[in-house]
């Protein structure tokens, strides 16, 4: 007999951009019977609650998580505010889809990882790019040995400064926010996924802060290297301080993967579909009236078309709902991988600050001491 699946009572904590996208997808899913929303901002809570047809709306995530209907949760709060809602869900034994990064501090990420392991909970992290066909196909070529032994990976991520400004404005501790931790983590996750199961042993990096430093005590760009146990090299850089007029809505990426018997190059810059308009458009990331040219497809969650989100965040959300309801496997990042990603990005930032190599694994106390 076919598996009938578990009917879902979904808690969405954080009703911002991502909470709304995921909530709209969940509202269409046949196994979702009940949706509750916790959103701190009352105006936003009312607006998003109505758009996703929420059965219960509150400003308090504890009140939501305590509802008897809830049997799974999406944590979509700001990057530095994931930990409290995650802990509340762990206490109630609720499986979770947590937005990246797991936390913005390495000690908090380690605490969350430990608590999830101890509770033996199914929790995955929103590394949404894994759900794109191109990265799945690339992963398969690396996994199946088409390139031989992968020896060198290189990634270049370019972003205009809208995401950086938004992040620095929202935090009261800019030292926990960096291009690597907040955004570079997506490219890093994809490349580390392709390099699986190689073990990173050392990082080296340098940063520059001529634009965002004076304005927000922020970092513009970081370039670095990750060295692996077997000598493999991953060379990566990210700038999130390009002018606002740079046409990618968010992410523009180029990746090269070189193996002993093959090579893969991936142009993920999104310059294949270019939109130019005379009047500003209202979609994308923090729409800015001065931006009249866009690389379409460069908004990582996907695009709204014909009344629904189309793209990787829709596929990721649907597959996670299938995972908790029907037990189907997914390509989602585990909490272990998410913690490893944070550890690597923190190590790159620390190396850049020290202007010296950093040995791995990085101890959370070392980051605290350096701060």
CA dihedral sign of residues 132, 281, 161, 182: negative
Residue nearest to ligand NAD (CB): 16
- The single residue among 9, 247, 300, 311 that binds ligand NAD, judged by CB under 6 A, is 300
- The single residue among 24, 49, 100, 102 that binds ligand NAD, judged by CB under 6 A, is 100
Q: How far is the CB of 102 from ligand NAD (least distance, A)?
A: 9
Q: How far is the CB of 147 from ligand NAD (least distance, A)?
A: 27
Residue that the structure tokens 């802990």 belong to: 87
Backbone dihedral region for residue 147 (phi beyond 0: left; psi -120 to 50: alpha; all else: beta): alpha
Cα–Cα distance, 179 to 207 (Å, whole number): 10
Q: Phi and psi (nearest 5°) for 51?
A: -65, -30
Q: How far is the CB of 284 from ligand NAD (least distance, A)?
A: 12
- The single residue among 99, 220, 294, 337 that binds ligand NAD, judged by CB under 6 A, is 99
Instruction: Determine, following the binding rule CB under 6 A, whether residue 61 of this chain makes contact with ligand NAD.
Output: yes
Residue that the structure tokens 């992290």 belong to: 125
Instruction: Determine, following the binding rule CB under 6 A, whether residue 41 of this chain makes contact with ligand NAD.
Output: yes
How far is CA 330 from its chain centroid? Answer: 16
Segment near ligand NAD (CB under 6 A), from 11-19, 197-205, 265-273, 288-296? 11-19
110 Cβ partners below 8 Å, 6+ apart? 339, 364
Nearer to ligand NAD, 38 or 112 (CB): 38
Rounded to 10 deg, the angle between the 185-195 and 335-354 helix axes is: 120
Segment near ligand NAD (CB under 6 A), from 1-9, 32-40, 233-241, 321-329? 32-40
Q: How far is the CB of 39 from ligand NAD (least distance, A)?
A: 5
* Interface characters, 309-338, with ligand NAD (x: CB under 6 A): ----x-------------------------
Helices (H), the chain: 17-27, 42-51, 61-65, 83-91, 106-119, 133-143, 162-170, 179, 185-195, 212-216, 312-326, 335-354, 364-370
Q: Which of 176, 175, 81, 104 is nearest to 338 (CA)?
A: 104
Instruction: Determine, following the binding rule CB under 6 A, whether residue 85 of this chain makes contact with ligand NAD.
Output: yes
Backbone dihedral region for residue 145 (phi beyond 0: left; psi -120 to 50: alpha; all else: beta): left
Q: Phi and psi (nearest 5°) for 294?
A: -140, 140
The DSSP letter of residue 64 is H
> For residues 123-162, which are near ligand NAD according to CB under 6 A?
126, 128
Instruction: Determine, following the binding rule CB under 6 A, whether residue 79 of this chain makes contact with ligand NAD.
Output: yes
- The single residue among 28, 44, 141, 353 that binds ligand NAD, judged by CB under 6 A, is 44
Nearer to ligand NAD, 28 or 44 (CB): 44
C-alpha pair distances (Å), 3 with each of 7, 124, 327, 332:
12, 22, 9, 22
Instruction: Determine, following the binding rule CB under 6 A, whether residue 36 of this chain makes contact with ligand NAD.
Output: no
Segment near ligand NAD (CB under 6 A), from 34-42, 131-139, 149-157, 190-198? 34-42
Residue 137 burial by Cβ neighbours in a 10 Å radius (0-12, 13-18, 19+): exposed
Q: How far is the CB of 189 from ligand NAD (least distance, A)?
A: 10
Cα–Cα distance, 199 to 321 (Å, whole number): 31
Nearer to ligand NAD, 27 or 258 (CB): 27
Contact residues: ligand NAD, CB under 6 A = 13-19, 38-41, 44, 61, 76-79, 81, 84-85, 99-100, 126, 128, 300-301, 313
């Amino acid at each position: 007999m076919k598996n009938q699946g578990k009917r879902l009572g979904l808690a969405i904590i954080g009703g911002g951009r991502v909470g709304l996208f995921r909530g709209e997808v969940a509202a269409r899913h046949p196994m979702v019977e009940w949706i509750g929303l916790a959103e701190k901002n009352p105006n936003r809570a009312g607006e998003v609650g109505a758009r996703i047809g929420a059965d219960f709306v509150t400003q308090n995530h504890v009140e939501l998580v305590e509802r008897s209907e809830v049997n799974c949760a999406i944590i979509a709060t700001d990057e530095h505010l994931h930990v409290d809602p995650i802990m509340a869900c762990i206490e109630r034994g609720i499986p979770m889809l947590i937005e990246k990064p797991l936390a913005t501090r390495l000690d908090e990420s380690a605490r969350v990882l430990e608590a999830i392991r101890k509770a033996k909970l199914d929790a995955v992290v929103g590394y949404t790019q894994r759900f794109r066909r191109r990265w799945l196909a690339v992963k398969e070529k690396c996994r199946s040995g088409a390139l031989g032994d992968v020896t060198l990976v290189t990634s270049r991520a370019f972003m205009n400064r809208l995401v950086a400004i938004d992040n620095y404005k929202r935090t009261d501790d800019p030292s926990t926010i960096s291009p690597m931790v907040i955004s570079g983590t997506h490219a890093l996750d994809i490349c580390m996924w392709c390099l699986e199961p190689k073990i990173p042993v050392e990082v080296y990096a340098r940063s520059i802060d001529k634009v965002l430093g004076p304005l927000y005590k922020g970092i513009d760009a970081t370039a670095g290297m990750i060295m692996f146990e077997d000598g493999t090299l991953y060379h990566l850089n990210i700038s999130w301080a390009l002018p606002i007029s740079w046409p990618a809505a968010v992410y523009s990426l180029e990746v090269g993967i070189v193996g002993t018997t093959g090579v893969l190059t991936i142009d993920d810059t999104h310059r294949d579909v270019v939109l130019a308009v005379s009047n500003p458009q209202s979609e994308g990331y923090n729409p800015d009236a001065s931006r009249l040219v866009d690389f379409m497809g460069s908004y990582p969650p996907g695009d709204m078309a014909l009344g629904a989100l189309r793209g990787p965040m829709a596929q990721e959300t649907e597959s996670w709902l299938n995972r908790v309801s029907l037990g189907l496997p997914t390509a989602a990042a585990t909490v272990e991988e998410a913690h490893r990603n944070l550890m690597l990005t923190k190590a790159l930032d620390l190396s850049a600050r020290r202007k010296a190599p950093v040995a791995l694994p990085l101890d959370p106390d070392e980051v605290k001491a350096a701060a």
